[in-house]
Amino acid sequence: MATDDLLFMSATRAAALIRSRRLSPVEYVDAVLAEVARAQPRLNCFVTVAEEAARRDAAQAERAVMEGAPLGPLHGVPIHIKDLVDVAGMPTTHGSAIHAQAKPATKDDVLVARLRAAGAIIIGKTTTPEFGVKGLTDGPAFGITRNPWNLERTSGGSSGGAAAAVAAGLAPLGLGTDGAGSIRGPAACCGVVGLKPTLGAVPADAARDAFGNNTYAGPLARSVTDAALMHAVLAGPAGQDPWSLGGTSAARPVSPVLLGEDLSGLRIGHVPRCANPRVAVDVATNTRGALDAWAEMGAEVEEVDEAIDWIEYEGRVLYQANFAVFCAPFLPEWRDRMDPVTLAFMERGAQFTLADFRNAQFARTRLFRAVQALFDRYDLLVMPTMTRTALPAVFDAANDDVMVDGVPCGITRQGWTSPQYPFNLTGHPAVSLPSGFGADGLPTAVQVVGRWGAEADVLRLGALLERARPWSQHRPKTL
């Protein structure tokens, strides 16, 4: 098999070939590690590459195959983990100079443990901006992570290292986290699939505020099937996450209307804009192309035209106040070595009052109820994931205006990533799917949002789009 075909093979197919002894886990992991070594100097998407451990685990995986041992669904498949999540034997630096000298973690996060139990081989940790603070992946501690489609553009953030690596063929799967769009934004920038699950579907054992959590973990993959497979491995209750207990986010089966390819009776609500003032013409055109593809299958597509308060200001209160409190102890020693964006968000967050914070929490409930009301009329919601293609790799996320078709549209969460953060606050599942390419040759994306627990529905609609408008044959040429 040609090396390029091996590197861009789906995780599902690789696992099947390994089970049938037609693909060696050792050879597979060796090929991926060799490509990581070749691409890393230009992409800068890994903070740690665990070559020795990965090769050891690959050899063990190969022995298990040859001995006829029980094999998990990801047996022998290489995967990488965002550097906000603990992996035993590797440091967790959080993208920050503060933790650059951190000792290796002594145990795996629950999600890493589940991936290992499924047979996945951890090849390293991917880059994230400091504490996952922004929608671009760069920082004083590690430099700039670049987009494999165009090295002068960002890979998005904060799971930008994972998305860039998956898009570049540096393992078929990456574990990302998403606090305000941090899986879906990088997926959109890099032309891959990114799933933010329902609140509680995938446990967040490390969340500082377990009950007020709005941060999620999920897959970045090159296909919907791979994302679904990885999500199935990650999902399920865990004792330290109250949202994951008691069936509060129990998965729904696929809706009957989505089981086949005749979507007659499926109601899609098209949300053309959220809090953003504009959407680029090429993004809007590709979104319409996706909607038309589903309509040709029989779906009823209707534009959502009522005014919805997407609580951009209140969402900012919750987000920036969190960093103001969480990072305050670091300031006396580390201020001069922290990301200026982190410091700017902290400064703004510290200005909010307790009344501001509580009113923002109340607004979160109002937003949830407004979105729930939409699901009285629609089975799924669809909108662009981003307002435009990837921003320049060097961009001040705290102050610079996002330009959309030459028009300034505010900072990133107002002008670029506006369709993403609302669903961190409401808890609904949302997947970003490639929708085509913009006028600049970079990927565009469409977001599908479903009812609580309806990951199967959003993924199924994505799979139908993937079949109608295939994208996995496209590969970056910059490397």
Catalytic-labelled residue, pool 10, 24, 82, 159: 82
158 is catalytic: yes
From residue 385, give the alpha-carbon distance in Å to each of 264, 343, 392, 445, 448. Answer: 25, 27, 18, 6, 9
| CA 269 centroid distance within chain | 23
Q: Annotated catalytic, 82?
A: yes
Which candidate, 282, 42, 16, 325, places its Cα nearest to that of 168? 42
Q: Exactly one of 10, 24, 96, 158 is catalytic; which is it? A: 158
- Residue 229 has which token pair? 């497979």
* Strands, E assignment, 62-205: 78-82, 121-126, 138-139, 143-144, 146-147, 150-154, 173-178, 193-196
Residue 103: which H helix or E strand, with range?
none
Helix, strand, or coil (residue 176)? strand
Q: Residue 422 — φ and ψ, nearest 5°? A: -55, -30
Terminal-to-terminal C-alpha distance of the chain: 20
Q: How far apart are CA 176 and CA 22, in angstroms?
A: 30
Which of 419, 151, 459, 148 lies closest to 283 in space, CA to CA?
419
35, 39, 44, 45: CA torsion to nearest 10: -40
Contacts of 329 (CB under 8 A, 6+ apart): none
Give the CA count within 13 Å in the CB-facing half-sphere of 117: 10
| Euclidean distance between CA atoms 78 and 121, whole angstroms | 5
306 touches 403 (CB < 8 A): no
Q: Quick one: DSSP state of residue 125?
A: E
- Element housing 53 (H / E): helix 51-66
Give the angle subtended at the CA of 455 by the CAs of 289 and 80, to the nearest 5°.
90
Question: By C-alpha distance, which of 241, 88, 80, 233 is closest to 160?
Answer: 80
What is the spatial distance between Cα 322 and Cα 424, in angstroms, rounded to a whole number? 15
Q: Where are the beta strands (DSSP E) in 240-369?
A: 267-270, 300-303
Alpha helices (runs of H) in 180-242, residue ranges in sequence order: 184-190, 224-234
Catalytic residue check, 20: no
Catalytic residue among 96, 182, 255, 432: 182
404 φ/ψ angles, rounded to the nearest 5 degrees: -120, 110
Q: Which residues form the catalytic set?
A: 82, 158, 182
